[in-house]
């Protein structure tokens, strides 16, 4: 069933309200703003990161800090625009001190991501980092071992009764500390952009 655009916008607005009042884990206590996602609700490509950082928490928008600049640059180099894709995270509230999301936080927030993906039904999901990669691959029944094993590979699965491609990538924040990873991230995004 294809949702009418206005209805889809309304469903996302309601989902944002639900997340604003969510108390399923303790992250709501320290967050400033929950971060649902940003971009085209009809996108072919959805990027799934791990959790909001400092600037995301301030602005209520995903990937707006240093890692976001790196991601946007890679998206642009692949011939896409930020406006033509959808960007979100598994966890919608910032973990204190930008620590990794904990399993119970991913479990609590996962259904929100599932709902977003069910509404958008992207053809391609680019996972950014080990937590989002493990989560999305598990949805397809694929065991996750390590980022170095799955980085830049294409997993063809069936979601929403159609062919869907999962492309795992290192998280852009990792490339801020190890610039060697930047090329791998750019290559994974180029690969995603090349699928028709």
- Phi, psi (5° rounding) for residue 193? -70, -25
The pLDDT assigned to 98 comes to 87
The pLDDT assigned to 92 comes to 97
pTM of the model: 0.95
Closest CA to 85 of 134, 122, 59: 122
What superfamily does domain 5-194 belong to in CATH? Answer: Uracil-DNA glycosylase-like domain (3.40.470.10)
For residue 165, give both structure tokens.
């491609």
Residues 6 or more apart whose CB falls under 8 angstroms from that of 25 comprise 93, 104, 105, 108, 109
Residues 6 or more apart whose CB falls under 8 angstroms from that of 108 comprise 22, 24, 25
The pLDDT assigned to 5 comes to 84
The pLDDT assigned to 4 comes to 81
The domain limits of the chain are 5-194
- Residue ranges of the chain whose pLDDT lies below 50: 1
Closest CA to 159 of 121, 120, 112: 121
């Amino acid at each position: 069933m294809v949702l009418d655009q206005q209805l889809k916008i309304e469903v996302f607005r309601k989902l944002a309200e639900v997340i604003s009042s969510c108390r399923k884990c303790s992250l709501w206590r320290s967050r400033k703003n929950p971060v649902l996602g940003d971009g085209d609700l009809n996108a072919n490509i959805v990027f799934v990161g791990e959790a909001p950082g400092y600037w995301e928490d301030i602005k209520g928008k995903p990937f707006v800090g240093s890692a976001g600049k790196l991601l946007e640059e890679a998206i642009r180099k692949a011939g896409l625009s930020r406006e033509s894709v959808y960007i979100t995270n598994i966890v919608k509230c910032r973990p204190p001190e930008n620590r990794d999301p904990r399993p119970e936080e991913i479990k609590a927030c996962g259904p929100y991501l599932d709902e977003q993906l069910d509404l958008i039904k992207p053809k391609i999901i680019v996972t950014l980092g080990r937590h989002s990669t493990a989560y999305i691959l598990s949805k397809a029944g694929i065991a996750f071992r390590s980022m170095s094993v799955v980085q830049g590979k294409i997993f063809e699965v069936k979601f929403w009764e159609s062919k869907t491609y999962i492309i795992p990538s290192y998280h852009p924040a990792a490339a801020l500390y190890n610039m060697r990873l930047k090329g791998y991230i750019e290559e994974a995004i180029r690969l995603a952009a090349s699928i028709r």
